Structure 1
């Protein structure tokens, strides 16, 4: 009689990870993340800087289209003397050329832009994505009462190489007599005024919008002439403080206030360096419409020559 033998099924032994092995895997993953994260952040910032460059190029193009239409550039400020700080800036005038005609139509240029609810329309309080550098995520309005609040943007125009009064009798900063930029208070320049050459003359650059800002401060109020400009007296992202009629209380990060207030109310005495959150420099549009990345280390003489439209100086490398 045959007896069937039972079939033995071999079971493979399953073995889990030991605690030491898990810790090693976690450590390896942590090292990889630490190595990759800076590269990812750099790639993201490079993309943001490229978008910022493209937006600035569109603003420069709008300036040229404005010039083609009116045979002159927008004014650095216009109207409402003697209260120049409440004048309309270049930004309000180029609105139709950046596809914001409806916003432009709300503006009554016979009234100053501040001082009453609704005055200046959306041009005073509206945040436009095209005017916001994605590297600066503040995106705020000023503190204070509604009649004086303004939206804060990032793109400002060059008022020359000393202060906002560059090209006027009140242009001296620390004994340095400044020269006019492509934008000056209450006047309109023409591209032909850039006798130093369009590719050697600044048009637009960047500013950081403060994380805290009192009313009437002088940085990033792109629609109000008092905060719509920069000068080249200080190099980009300068360690030296800006000087303005009213100070921003905090630029964010390690920058702090970066501002020294004037004792008077003359907005034209503002000395504002272009600033950005891009590592190592700022984007800047030249009067020929090109956009360059200007390093913080640029020679100060070269930088000041770039801010002047007709100082007759030969530029160094930049």
Structure 2
């Protein structure tokens, strides 16, 4: 605001000129443009921290389960005799509910029947979007469309089934493209203990993340954490890999610029999957190691160390990654 002195001593006032206003607006626009990326980075840092803390809580739940029963839950339950649930077998998820403060949900479960196929099976476990299983960086939180008998909520945190492929229990559960992988801390139908982790707890993956689809248009194994066929990932592909996942059915859009990111294998068992760890965190994924620690692994990690992290007993020296 400019002032001037009149002859009679009084001050007169005039407003900003149009040019001055435009200059001010331009300066404000530049400041906003400079600050916006910093604000977005701060928000993502907070989301990633929350994701880290949630994986720590899940790792702690697994350790508490192990302290109680002497082993981790099996990667799948019920696909072998006498149940033979096949694609509708249970995963590890239902068994740890009491250890993540979801005892009421756990009390609804009956492991003597398969999880899918009736509206009452699985209770809230099957259809509830549980906040502690959702990474805040992934904004596509979905409960599957379809009839109640088959709906599942989709979650972000999945366990490591080794370094190749996995299914809900049909042999060979760990072979892809002729590559016979090695077991992770979770395998179909068998329980592992911490003593089975001969590579060392700090050198073996427990959890990581996957991206839930932005548009859910089919039932797929991806993120159906409650069901064994959707409860895991493997280290066959590096984090956020350019190569496609391989599942029995494919979602057409994971969001962003990813598209389907999937190759459909209709001849595979429903549970046979190559699913890479993926996240919307820039540059990599959060992982929980079997010792309970959580760290960020860059998507540029070399393939061999990443695969070795997926195995609990390959005897490889991983080094820095």
Query: Do the two structures share a fold, i.e. TM-score over 0.5?
Result: yes
Quote the residue 2:177 is aligned against. Answer: 174
Look up the SS of the partner of 2:288 in the other structure: strand
2:233 matched to 1:230?
A: yes
8 Å contact kept, 1:167–1:184: no
8 Å contact kept, 1:149–1:215: no
Quote the residue 2:120 is aligned against. Answer: 118
d(CA) in 1 for partners of 2:171 and 2:290? 21
8 Å contact kept, 2:229–2:272: no
- After superposing the two structures, state which structure 1 stretch, 287-296 or 8-17, moved more: 8-17
Quote the residue 1:32 is aligned against. Answer: 31
Quote the residue 1:162 is aligned against. Answer: 164
**Among residues 96, 99, 107, which one is paired with 2:98 in the alignment?**
96
Quote the residue 2:43 is aligned against. Answer: 44
Largest Rg, 1 or 2 = 1
d(CA) in 1 for partners of 2:319 and 2:72? 27
Where structure 2 has 5 or more consecutive residues not aligned to the other structure, the ranges are 1-6
d(CA) in 2 for partners of 1:9 and 1:119? 91
d(CA) in 2 for partners of 1:153 and 1:232? 19
When the two chains are superposed, the root-mean-square deviation of aligned CA atoms in Å is 1.6
d(CA) in 1 for partners of 2:299 and 2:62? 26
**Among residues 277, 282, 296, which one is paired with 2:285 in the alignment?**
282
Quote the residue 1:146 is aligned against. Answer: 148
2:314 matched to 1:311?
A: yes
d(CA) in 2 for partners of 1:9 and 1:85? 94
Quote the residue 1:3 is aligned against. Answer: none
d(CA) in 1 for partners of 2:53 and 2:123? 27
Aligned residues: 311
d(CA) in 2 for partners of 1:265 and 1:106? 32
Look up the SS of the partner of 2:202 in the other structure: helix
d(CA) in 2 for partners of 1:257 and 1:221? 17
8 Å contact kept, 2:157–2:210: yes
Look up the SS of the partner of 1:36 in the other structure: helix
Look up the SS of the partner of 1:302 in the other structure: helix
Q: Shift of the alpha carbon at 1:272?
A: 0.1
Look up the SS of the partner of 2:158 in the other structure: strand
Superposed CA offset, 1:30-62 (max 9, x none):
000000000000001001000000000000000
Q: Shift of the alpha carbon at 1:265?
A: 4.3
Quote the residue 2:300 is aligned against. Answer: 297
**Among residues 253, 256, 259, which one is paired with 2:259 in the alignment?**
256
TM-score for both structures, normalised by structure 2: 0.93
Where structure 1 has 5 or more consecutive residues not aligned to the other structure, the ranges are 1-7
Is the alpha carbon distance of 1:129 and 1:106 closer, same or farther for their aligned partners in structure 2, counting shifts above 3 Å? same
Q: Shift of the alpha carbon at 1:167?
A: 11
8 Å contact kept, 2:248–2:272: yes
2:9 matched to 1:10?
A: yes
8 Å contact kept, 2:91–2:228: yes
TM-score for both structures, normalised by structure 1: 0.94
Q: Shift of the alpha carbon at 1:281?
A: 0.3
- After superposing the two structures, state which structure 1 stretch, 216-225 or 124-133, moved more: 216-225
Is the alpha carbon distance of 1:215 and 1:182 closer, same or farther for their aligned partners in structure 2, counting shifts above 3 Å? same
